[in-house]
Amino acid sequence: MPLLYELRAGVAIVTLNRPEAMNAIDPDTRLELHAAWQRAAGDDAVRCVVLTGAGDKAFCTGSDLKKTMPPKESHAQLTFGGTAPSHLLSGMEMDKPILCAINGYAMGAGMELALACDLRIASENAQFALPEVRLGSIPGAGGTQRLPRLIGQSDAMLLLLTGARIDAQEALRLRLVSRVVPRARLLDEVLGIAAQIAQNAPLSVRAVKRLVRDGQDMPMDRALALESHVFGLLRDTGDRLEGRRAFQEKRPPVYHGR
């Protein structure tokens, strides 16, 4: 199977499972990714998602050029024709947090997959690149937009215009990733963070993600007004009452997402 899906204590683990091909994305993997995001988004038991790759060498090296042919449909048909989603990142817009465990090479569309996640933790052997300009193309899955927003325009332009490769420590310096850990500890580290998130009130977690995502494109006064509105929406939820009761009773809260 080109993709594995496992639910573990509120955390959906999505694993790109083509280690023999450096976990490159072929058409079957793309379809299964879309299905995995829909499954996670629609399952109330899922509190957050972890995305990683099988094997020790690569998270994902982008599209499998040997198996990925140009679509038969025109670009207009794909955009307006109501066909099945073809964009690599379709479905990742969910409010549930997505954490990325980058276990090796993250190249091209593989790096763009990582950029579309909310948190990125890298193994010591991870390497990153958006090499499309070297191949007569451009990053087509958000790389030219997400990277500058994440690390700043100057550093992003250096990577985008040269197609240069950087290692995990440079990615950490640029704040492309939050942490760098030994390869053997990577998944445990990310699952530990995911478990902390999964224990929190799910409506609050999703609200925070949406506020951060949407607020980046708003003037500060509108973003603060939206935050105040969402605070009011959550104020009378059962989970907020449960959180206060649990604190008073010195016990772990039990949240239900309502």
236 burial (CB, 10 Å; 0-12 / 13-18 / 19+) is: exposed
pLDDT band at 8 (very low <50, low <70, confident <90, very high): very high
Catalytic residue among 20, 132, 189, 227: 132
Neighbours of 151 (CB within 10 A): 18
pTM: 0.90
Q: Pull the structure tokens for residue 47.
A: 């509190």
Q: Is 132 a catalytic residue?
A: yes
Catalytic residue among 112, 124, 170, 189: 112
pLDDT single digits (tens) 112-152? 999 999 999 999 999 999 999 998 999 989 999 999 999 99
pLDDT band at 87 (very low <50, low <70, confident <90, very high): confident
Q: Is 142 helix (H, G, I), strand (E, B) or coil?
A: coil
pLDDT single digits (tens) 147-169? 999 999 999 999 999 999 999 99
Q: Identify the structural domains of the chain with CATH numbers, from first to last.
A: 3-198 (3.90.226.10), 202-249 (1.10.12)
Q: Is 93 a catalytic residue?
A: no
How many Å is the Cα radius of gyration of the chain?
Answer: 19
> At residue 7, what is the residue type?
L
- Whether the per-residue pLDDT at 69 is higher than 80: the answer is no
